[in-house]
């Protein structure tokens, strides 16, 4: 871990994988030092490892599906207009399973200067929003309700009104007390969601969690 975070050529490749097609370079790892903001490469590598953990535990039928950071950008942010067509093929036959058979769908969202996590809980028919600064984003929740409606119609020709699903913005969750750790909190929310456990971390654990992320990326494995 110390070597990965130490001095060296910025373009050194420190980790790569077939499941993400991401090459994590030394310059990417630097975002896990101190109070640096996490970037897309690190977050998407972590999301890919969380998905691989699900597939190891439940081959062919994972309980959770983890999208990467580009999903919501494609669904809405890039064009500032909801467009299901741009993500329709993300859940096609090549995926190997239907996300509609999962219990939860996990979506990291970058709000420009801040990372948050949304979870479509298919089992309980609700959409959740986790923000380590206590904010809310009703527009994102509305888009994800539209998304699940369109996904059911496209993949199963079923009429499901996602807008009728409950929407939750829990307040009693771990919060950051700086302006730098939102990405770490967001990944931690996702990791706990995958384990179906309580959020067992706080601000004091952020330095440890950053180093743990480095170790997991180097191994290409989240246990």
Q: Which of 43, 198, 173 is nearest to 115 (CA)?
A: 43
Name the residue among 64, 77, 91 with its Cα closest to residue 192: 64
Decide if 182 is catalytic: yes
Catalytically annotated residue among 110, 114, 143, 181:
114
Tell me which of 31, 64, 102, 182 is the catalytic residue. Answer: 182
Rounded CA Rg of the chain: 17
- Known catalytic residue: 102? no
| Two structure tokens written together for 62 | 């994972």
Closest by CA to 37, choosing from 183, 164, 152, 167, is 183
- Of 131, 154, 181, 192, the catalytic one is 131
- CA dist 45 → 81, 88, 162, 222 (Å): 27, 22, 29, 11
Catalytic residues: 114, 131, 182
């Amino acid at each position: 871990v110390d070597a990965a975070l130490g001095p060296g050529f910025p373009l050194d490749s420190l980790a790569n994988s077939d499941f993400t097609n991401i090459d994590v370079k030394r310059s990417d790892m630097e975002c896990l030092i101190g109070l640096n903001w996490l970037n897309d490469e690190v977050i998407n590598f972590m999301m890919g490892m969380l998905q691989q953990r699900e597939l190891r535990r439940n081959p062919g039928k994972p309980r959770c599906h983890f999208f990467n950071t580009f999903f919501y950008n494609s669904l809405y942010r890039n064009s500032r207009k909801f467009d299901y067509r741009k993500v329709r093929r993300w859940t096609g036959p090549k995926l190997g399973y239907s996300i509609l058979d999962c219990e939860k769908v996990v979506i990291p969202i970058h709000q420009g200067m801040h990372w948050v996590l949304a979870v479509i809980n298919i089992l309980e028919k609700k959409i959740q929003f986790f923000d380590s600064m206590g904010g809310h984003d009703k527009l994102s929740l509305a888009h994800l309700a539209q998304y699940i409606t369109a996904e059911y119609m496209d993949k199963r020709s079923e009429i499901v009104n996602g807008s009728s699903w409950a929407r939750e913005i829990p307040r009693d969750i771990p919060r950051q007390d700086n302006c730098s750790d939102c990405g770490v909190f967001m990944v931690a929310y996702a990791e706990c969601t995958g384990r179906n456990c309580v959020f067992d971390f706080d601000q004091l654990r952020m330095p440890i969690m950053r180093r743990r992320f480095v170790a997991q990326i180097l191994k290409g494995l989240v246990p």
